[in-house]
Structure 1
Amino acid sequence: MALCLLPQVAHATGVSAGTLIQNTASATYTSGAASGSVTSNTVTLKVDELLDVAVAGLTTTPVATGATTAVLEYRITNTGNGPEAFNVIVNPSVAGNNFDAVVQSVVIDSNGNGTYEPGVDTVLASGSPTPALAADASLKTFVIVALPAGATDGQTSQVRLTAEAVTGTGTPGTSFSGQGEGGGDAVVGASGASANGLDALIASLASVALTKSAVIVDPFGGSKPVPGAVVTYTLVASVSGSGQVDGLHITDAYPTGTTYQASSLKLEGAALTDASDADAGLASGTGIDVNLGTVAGGTTKTVKFDVKIN
């Protein structure tokens, strides 16, 4: 499994785990007319592995999400002095959240380009640790989340990612005999071999209000709904919110007792053809259908069509 080795943002603590530190003393002396020297035995120490980690949330502003998923970014850095893998725990239930995001997957940046690429980057199976990171190595990690049902526009939330050394965690100084690099001990460092970071997201949603009005022109120049009068219906879709709506259609059935007036269908004042073709409108034998597609919040769309009272 390829690792994403990002530029160093933290430094491992001291000498690399497993390094042998050796020292031999010597002494010189004189005795009468003679002089001499002696050396001591060599004392060898093997440097134990220090278990330390740092985690940073990389999202500087809340990630806006609506109908699609959001990608949150974190960096896990091995700040210990030996290679170590880390268990990753994602918690969307952070105090102060307006909603708790739905976690869909945890993904590591396998090719190291810093960009989330579905189908390319490696999804961490539930309960699986990261690959082992060398001292000072970092791994960019993506958490894919979605909005829960009931979230409303503008609500905010945080998601916490925690990385824990696979070898073990605990209070600083806790030792795991023989589990360090090179067969030495592994000792928990100042981080407790566990660290976490937060990323934020904000719900970006939209809603639609639809209003309908009618203007009547009768055959006598008045506005009475008598047989032969033409009724112009105006439908206004108002989209509000910071997000967008997708697949928005305005539909309306012709009222009983009326006949649609051919080629009267309009969107934003521009004529639409009645046929099912490249434009947004369709006037069938029973009603109209105007496909507005994706519409951003703060936008209004106006549709008009005419019927004649039979």
Structure 2
Amino acid sequence: MMIAPVGGAKHRLLPSCSTIALLAALALPVQAQAAGTRAGSTISNTASASFDTGAGSTTVDSNRVDLLVDELLDVTVDSSNPAEVPTTPGATGQVLTFSVTNNGNGVEAFGLTTIANAGGDNYDPVITQIYLDNGDGLFDFGTDTLYAAGANDPSLDPDQGITVFVLATTPGTVVDGNRGIVSLVAAAKTGTGTPGTSFVGEGEGGGDAVVGSTGADGEDAGTFLVSAATVTLVKSAVITNTLNTADPIPGATITYTIVATVAGSGSVSGLAITDDIPADTSYVPASIKLGGSALSDAADADAGDYNGTRINVALGTVAGGQTRTVTFQTMID
């Protein structure tokens, strides 16, 4: 068992008078989490000895040993996102959520930075802002505080935590399934370094500040997952005529089939298929169908319409992995 020093900057000895000077030294373990004893507290101890000189029992006390508790610098950062956060190409204001906790035993301010280009992912999110939560755990532009490094670094009591939101833009060049990783780093403003590094006199209450097991600069990562969709169109034509052949002769009917396929893990909205009636043909009235169901030519409650030059079918929102089939007919003039 090592004997804790009683002199020097770390532990200050404040002697008191007694008849016999006996030194009682206590070994104080360094803990990775807030130990409960506040930095700047004084731990006092006095030893006693009893003996018999033949004239009766006698007790004497040692001098008192006072130890000033140093500040332990420790912090953890944890991603609060339950899973990969979905995003889409070109999306702005995408939010990752983190918690920052002071695991030290004194009040400490923490500087916040982000890392978005560490590798191991498919793209680098563009970090735009960091916000400090107002206490409800939900991001809100109007009530949460925009973080400015050095101006409003969060100051936390021992064991106190704060929720931090990192906002990013997703590049428009990403594709479905791409992942972008962002790390949040919180570093003690007093100092960071190898565990055990001491900053003399910088601790709360006048003691030293000692770097704990986290290096006083915690870090954790959150991940964006691109959920995108692409649309492909395949068009085909079948000819029928009164000769019962497949020849495109005057008077033959052309049945056009257009298949829209949506691929990817996302969805598309406002999908619509439009096709101009080819020259030298005439539209066959009431021939528009969606998935085999007839649609009217008028611009009414159903999805299709014909305006005299083209057909249009509104498909709305379609998720990846689904198809939509539209057919219509024209007659060769």
- TM bin, normalised by shorter chain, reads 0.7 to 0.9
Q: Give the aligned partner of residue 250 of structure 1.
A: 273
**Closer/same/farther in 2, CA of residues 274 and 216 from structure 1, 3 Å limit:** same
Question: Equivalent residue of 2:205, what SS?
Answer: helix
Identity of matched residues, %: 48
* 2:102–2:159 contact (8 Å) kept in structure 1: yes
Comparing 64-73 and 78-87, the one that deviates more: 64-73
Q: Give the aligned partner of residue 168 of structure 2.
A: 145
Deviation at 1:126, TM superposition (A): 5.6
Structure 1 residue 217 corresponds to structure 2 residue 240: yes
Aligned counterparts of 2:298 and 2:261: Cα–Cα separation in 1: 26
Q: Please, what TM-score do these two structures have when normalized by structure 2?
A: 0.76
Aligned counterparts of 1:272 and 1:118: Cα–Cα separation in 2: 45
Question: Equivalent residue of 1:291, what SS?
Answer: strand
* Structure 1 vs Structure 2 CA RMSD: 3.1
* 1:86–1:129 contact (8 Å) kept in structure 2: no
Deviation at 1:79, TM superposition (A): 0.8
Structure 1 residue 93 corresponds to structure 2 residue 117: yes
Paired letter, 1:51: L
Structure 1 residue 52 corresponds to structure 2 residue 74: yes
Query: Where do 1:33-44 residues align within 5 Å?
Result: 44=66
1:177-233 CA-to-partner distances (Å, cap 9, x unmatched) read 443323443222222211211223333222111111112233555443233333221
* 2:237–2:254 contact (8 Å) kept in structure 1: yes
* 1:231–1:308 contact (8 Å) kept in structure 2: yes
Aligned counterparts of 2:186 and 2:309: Cα–Cα separation in 1: 60
Deviation at 1:237, TM superposition (A): 0.7
Aligned counterparts of 2:257 and 2:143: Cα–Cα separation in 1: 49
Query: Where do 1:294-309 residues align within 5 Å?
Result: 294-309=317-332
Aligned counterparts of 2:192 and 2:299: Cα–Cα separation in 1: 65
Q: Give the aligned partner of residue 129 of structure 2.
A: 105
Aligned counterparts of 1:298 and 1:280: Cα–Cα separation in 2: 21
**Closer/same/farther in 2, CA of residues 253 and 128 from structure 1, 3 Å limit:** farther
Paired letter, 1:85: A
**Closer/same/farther in 2, CA of residues 200 and 278 from structure 1, 3 Å limit:** same
Unaligned runs of 5+ in 1: 1-9
* 1:164–1:193 contact (8 Å) kept in structure 2: yes
Question: Equivalent residue of 1:85, what SS?
Answer: strand
**Closer/same/farther in 2, CA of residues 111 and 60 from structure 1, 3 Å limit:** closer
Q: Give the aligned partner of residue 219 of structure 2.
A: 196
Q: Give the aligned partner of residue 165 of structure 1.
A: 188
Paired letter, 2:305: L
Aligned counterparts of 1:274 and 1:99: Cα–Cα separation in 2: 46
Aligned counterparts of 1:128 and 1:222: Cα–Cα separation in 2: 81
* 2:33–2:74 contact (8 Å) kept in structure 1: no
Question: Equivalent residue of 1:251, what SS?
Answer: strand
Deviation at 1:162, TM superposition (A): 1.2
Question: Equivalent residue of 1:182, what SS?
Answer: helix
Q: Give the aligned partner of residue 72 of structure 1.
A: 96
| Structure (1 or 2) with the larger CA radius of gyration | 2
Aligned counterparts of 1:276 and 1:102: Cα–Cα separation in 2: 44
Aligned counterparts of 2:244 and 2:58: Cα–Cα separation in 1: 131
Aligned counterparts of 1:291 and 1:89: Cα–Cα separation in 2: 46
Deviation at 1:31, TM superposition (A): 8.9
**Closer/same/farther in 2, CA of residues 66 and 284 from structure 1, 3 Å limit:** same
* 2:228–2:267 contact (8 Å) kept in structure 1: yes
Paired letter, 2:84: P
Aligned counterparts of 2:329 and 2:128: Cα–Cα separation in 1: 48
Structure 1 residue 240 corresponds to structure 2 residue 263: yes
Unaligned runs of 5+ in 2: 1-31
Deviation at 1:38, TM superposition (A): 7.3
Deviation at 1:28, TM superposition (A): 7.6
**Closer/same/farther in 2, CA of residues 207 and 168 from structure 1, 3 Å limit:** same
Q: Give the aligned partner of residue 3 of structure 1.
A: none
Q: Give the aligned partner of residue 252 of structure 2.
A: 229
Aligned counterparts of 2:131 and 2:246: Cα–Cα separation in 1: 65
Q: Which of residues 153, 175, 181 in structure 1 aligns to 2:204?
A: 181
Paired letter, 1:57: S
Q: Please, what TM-score do these two structures have when normalized by structure 1?
A: 0.81
Structure 1 residue 16 corresponds to structure 2 residue 38: yes
Q: Give the aligned partner of residue 131 of structure 1.
A: 154
